[in-house]
Amino acid sequence: MKILVAVDGSTYTKRMLAYLAAHDEWMGNQHEYTVINVVAAVPPRAAAALDKEALDSYYQDEAERVFEPVRAFFAQQGLNARFEPRVGHAGEVIAKLADDGRYDLLAMGSHGHSTLGSLVMGSVASKVLGHCQAPVLLIR
């Protein structure tokens, strides 16, 4: 099974990883894992003031900060994973990769906001659910 694991470095990511580790059906060498982190794009006016190398370095550093403990988690489980740093709107980027990569499952943590909270604040999970054709496992 091809599993896409969306991470953002929050406590919800930690809960999601703990949930996966506690369920043998989601963890194992029989699965192929890709871990995605989406860094929000620097606003265009600010990006114009930076050189491309500095901007790319910023994006890479932000993604690696999130990936570091997730790499340790996969190593502790004895599993290999591919890590995909991306830039953009998280919900849209995650959903697009899940569909384009033909993943069998997308696993991600969720804050668990109420419907009203999601309307007011917007939710990455809500956007993913609205745009993604792949099955989504949301862990709160």
pLDDT by position in tens, the chain (length 140): 999 999 999 999 999 999 999 998 989 999 999 999 999 999 988 888 888 999 999 999 999 999 999 999 999 999 999 999 999 999 999 999 999 999 999 999 987 555 554 444 458 888 888 888 999 999 98
Name the CATH superfamily for 2-139: HUPs (3.40.50.620)
CA 63 to chain centre: 10
* Nearest in space to 4 (alpha carbons), one of 89, 90, 76: 90
Measured CA to CA, the distance from residue 18 to residue 65 in angstroms comes to 19
* CA angle in degrees (0–180, nearest 5) for 66-106-133: 135
CA 29 to chain centre: 20
Task: Return the pLDDT at 74.
Answer: 97
Task: Return the pLDDT at 12.
Answer: 92
Per-domain residue ranges of the chain: 2-139
Task: Return the pLDDT at 131.
Answer: 86
